[in-house]
Amino acid sequence: MSISPESDEIKYAKGLEGVIAAISGISFIDGDQGILVYRGFSIETLAKHSNYEEIVYLLLHGELPTRPELEELTNKLKEYRTCEALMPSIRSFPKDAHPMDVVRSAVSLMGIYCPDKFDFSKEIKMQKVLRVVAKLPSIVASYDRIRKGLEPIEPDNSLNHAENFLYMLNGEKPDELSAKIMDIMFILHADHGMNASTFSAMVTISTLSDVYSSLTAGIGTLKGPLHGGANERVLKMLREIKSVDNVKPWLDEALEERRKIMGFGHRVYRAYDPRAKILKKYAKQLGEQKQGDLLFEIGEKVEEYMLEKVGAKGIQPNVDFYSGIVLNHLGIATDVFTPIFAISRSAGWGSHILEYLESNRLFRPRAIYNGPYHQEYIEIENREGE
């Protein structure tokens, strides 16, 4: 039986707002207080004391690793960094492809080339997640170089995850500050509760599909401008605004036209996104080092005016607002911002799908049917327009 719009059988929540779809011990968000916690550790503590490899372990295993456990995970990630099987495809992709499309397609291809593709054991699933986490930086960096007419660079296993990514991207070892900031960028983006891309990955795994299909779904979902794709739009917006003086007239016009301001608003946060707070500090620091670069100043003015205009509605900067400014200062191309988000989030997606499989149940919501009933079937020759 279908559900009619009048039915009170099921409560309808547009965009699944407020719907509880799973029980998870991975990350917690208090949107009113602006708190984000991974496995009980605040994001501020982790950004200050931890590193991305440790976060991958923490998210996947539920506790901080001992030194040998961290070493084992780090060695696995290093072992999986190369992606020879994918390189002919990555080289053949059009040079004008969006890097997020490359990332999505490459992870999908990993499912074809994976030596253990038909092994669905728990242990191998974990390895598949680690393969994706390890290979994503190589995929992003290699494609970025290939499209610029440069040769991809082999990973350097003396470098950590963040350092190696910057090295493979730029062809030279990064300075300490850039490597630290990239590591923090990876820490901050690694997980965020039941967000759209995580849910997407979970829906796919709930059919007992495979890890690669599930992570490919997550990547496709992250790409959208209402989700991870907002960071590259923020930079485009700041460039379009051009000057501090133009902030108010530009925003007035955009808000008047009811356009969404990228990098603002969140389904869960009504308070300031704690990740944006951390990134703002680095955006400021890097902005001060680059004389004549107005991006941070324009950004800060946008924040100030947005809070004045719509802050009372709980519309505050989200993680994507300052991440673009930071990445731009690190010399990273705008369309590589969301792939960097995906590199990091792969650990969160992986953790959630493995956790969900522990007590899997197929996701299958319903819709309120508002189409017609009892239509009379008319043979094609008798339909109007024949």
Summarize as ranges the residues that interact with ligand ACO (CB under 6 A): 15, 226-228, 230, 260-267, 310, 313, 315, 318-320
- Say if residues 14 and 344 touch (Cβ distance below 8 Å): no
Q: Smallest gap, in angstroms, from Cβ of residue 185 to ligand ACO?
A: 13
Question: Whose Cβ is closer to ligand ACO: residue 124's or residue 226's?
Answer: 226
- Which residue's structure tokens are 């400021």? 284
Does residue 148 sit in helix, strand or coil? coil
The one catalytic residue in 320, 329, 335, 352 is 320
- Which residue's structure tokens are 């590193």? 51
291 CB-contact burial (10 Å; exposed 0-12 / middle 13-18 / buried 19+)? exposed
Question: Whose Cβ is closer to ligand ACO: residue 269's or residue 296's?
Answer: 269
The one catalytic residue in 161, 266, 329, 352 is 266
The question of whether 192 is a catalytic residue gets the answer no
Which among 63, 65, 61, 56 is positioned nearest to 190, based on CA atoms? 56
Which among 163, 168, 161 is positioned nearest to 142, based on CA atoms? 168
Stated as kind and residue range, the H or E segment containing 237 is helix 230-241
Residues sharing a CB contact under 8 Å with residue 265, sequence separation 6 or more, in sequence order? 315, 316, 318
The question of whether 175 is a catalytic residue gets the answer no
* DSSP 8-state secondary structure symbol assigned to residue 95: T
The tokens for 169 are: 């991207």
Question: Whose Cβ is closer to ligand ACO: residue 107's or residue 261's?
Answer: 261
Q: Smallest gap, in angstroms, from Cβ of residue 246 to ligand ACO?
A: 18
Q: Smallest gap, in angstroms, from Cβ of residue 304 to ligand ACO?
A: 15
The question of whether 266 is a catalytic residue gets the answer yes
Residues sharing a CB contact under 8 Å with residue 346, sequence separation 6 or more, in sequence order? 129, 132, 133, 136, 215, 218
Q: Smallest gap, in angstroms, from Cβ of residue 227 to ligand ACO?
A: 4
Question: Whose Cβ is closer to ligand ACO: residue 111's or residue 263's?
Answer: 263
Question: Whose Cβ is closer to ligand ACO: residue 310's or residue 333's?
Answer: 310
Q: Smallest gap, in angstroms, from Cβ of residue 136 to ligand ACO?
A: 17
Residues designated as active site:
227, 266, 320
